[in-house]
């Protein structure tokens, strides 16, 4: 699977030639996003507290997935859809934090990026290659979870750019 930047503030997620989802952002460093799936369903990602450490994925105004940033940088993802409970953790791995993984609570890897997601200063994130385990692909919301995985990778990337640009050139 690949996620590619298309336009200035959107990503498309494809499996081969098949379009699975699209993520659009209203502003460049915004945490708010709209996820559109191939079947026409739309989800809204919004911050649910002042500091932006808690995010919600809403479908028709109802929260179906909650995301919470931990103090050490990991994100806890809780799918709370009726009949489908799933808890995941998104984290950076590697010496240079150049790899991203999605694990369950037992730290089994369910999704991971290839090693080409690098955190160069001010380099745009153009393309992300990632793979999913078979058990995650059997989950009914796996396409939405893949979009959230790409959303969180962009979140980590833009946060590091904002922090580095503030440190390098305080104005």
pLDDT in tens, 53-69: 788 999 988 888 888 88
Residue 153 resides in a domain? yes
Residue 100 resides in a domain? yes
Residue 61 resides in a domain? yes
Residue 116 resides in a domain? yes
Residue 146 resides in a domain? yes
Q: How many domains does the chain have?
A: 1
CA atoms of 68 and 51, how far apart (whole Å): 11
Q: Which are the contacts of 9, defined by CB distance < 8 A and separation ≥ 6?
A: 24, 25, 26, 27, 28, 30
pLDDT the model gives residue 124: 56
- Asked if residues 114 and 27 have their Cβ atoms less than 8 Å apart, the reply is no
- Asked if residues 100 and 91 have their Cβ atoms less than 8 Å apart, the reply is yes
Residue 105 resides in a domain? yes
pLDDT the model gives residue 71: 81
Of the two residues 115 and 11, the one the predictor is more confident about is 11
CA atoms of 47 and 49, how far apart (whole Å): 6
Q: Give which of 46, 45, 69 is closest to 156, Cα–Cα.
A: 69
Residue 111 resides in a domain? yes
pTM: 0.81
Quick: pLDDT tens for 120-156: 444 555 677 888 888 888 888 888 988 998 888 888 7
């Amino acid at each position: 699977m690949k996620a590619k930047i298309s336009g200035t503030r959107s990503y498309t997620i494809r499996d081969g030639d098949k379009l699975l989802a699209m993520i659009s952002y209203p502003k460049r460093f915004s945490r708010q996003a709209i996820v559109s799936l191939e079947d026409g369903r739309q989800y809204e990602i919004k911050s649910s507290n002042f500091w932006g450490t808690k995010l919600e994925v809403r479908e028709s105004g109802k929260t179906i997935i909650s995301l919470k940033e931990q103090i050490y940088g990991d994100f806890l993802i809780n799918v709370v859809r009726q009949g489908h409970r799933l808890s995941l953790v998104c984290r950076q791995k590697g010496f240079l934090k150049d790899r991203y993984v999605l694990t369950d609570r037992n730290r089994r890897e369910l999704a991971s990026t290839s090693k080409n997601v690098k955190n160069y200063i001010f380099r745009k994130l153009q393309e992300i290659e990632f793979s999913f385990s078979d058990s995650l692909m059997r989950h009914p919301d796996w396409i939405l979870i893949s979009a959230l995985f790409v959303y969180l990778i962009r979140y980590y990337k833009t946060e590091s750019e904002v922090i580095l640009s503030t440190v390098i050139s305080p104005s």
